[in-house]
A and B are shown apart, each in its own frame.
Chain A
């Protein structure tokens, strides 16, 4: 079974600085998707960025980028020019590219709480 591990329960960053959140996963599959979701205090889970495993190029969305290392099964999130609104829980998630049974379901890590200091 696949697992997702976020080893940093909490992180802190100064406003305008850069922070990197870590995520590792375990799978025997070669084709899958990886996601970062953000959950602010309002509790709405918001998609930040997604990566297809078959793409070597790292995904980028404005100030958010990932470092996808397939061989190492690592998928870290870099937030540049951090803003106060970035403060939230960040969840890493894995989804198989196979759609049979439960293989298509999202598997979440436990999350990293990010604080942004003014």
Chain B
């Protein structure tokens, strides 16, 4: 499999459920990202991991918990979500923050997980 993959592609959950979103990149990258895409709003960056270290938490509620066990995998653990958390969750990867120039600043996206919270 190539590129960035995400599972599941669709998820429906109740507000008391616990679920996890998975992202895997096959590009040899070292930085991974979670974005939230809601209707009629710009993409919102949620978390950034660079070489497995979290470098950004964009004021995301604690009901979203990221995990990055290695440079190829990124998880988003979901717990006690609200209906307003329903959105498309996109994962992306890039080469990693080792310096300037080249192509490392280009992010490649997965197909997303469509989440519906009831």
Contacts and interface: CB of A to CB of B under 8 A. Distances in A.
Most chain A beta carbons < 10 A, residue from B40, B42, B56, B92: B42
The DSSP consensus for interface residues of chain B is loop
A42 B109 CA distance: 12
Contact of A106 (B45, B88, B100): B45
Contacts of B41: 110
A44 B111 contact: yes
A104 B90 CA distance: 18
B105 A44 contact: no
B86 to A, nearest CB: 14
The bracket for how many chain A residues form the interface is 20 to 34
Nearest to B97: A99
Interface of A: 4, 31, 33, 35, 37, 42-47, 50, 91, 95, 97, 99, 101-102, 104-106, 108-111
6 contacts: A37-B109, A45-B112, A101-B55, A105-B56, A110-B41, A110-B42
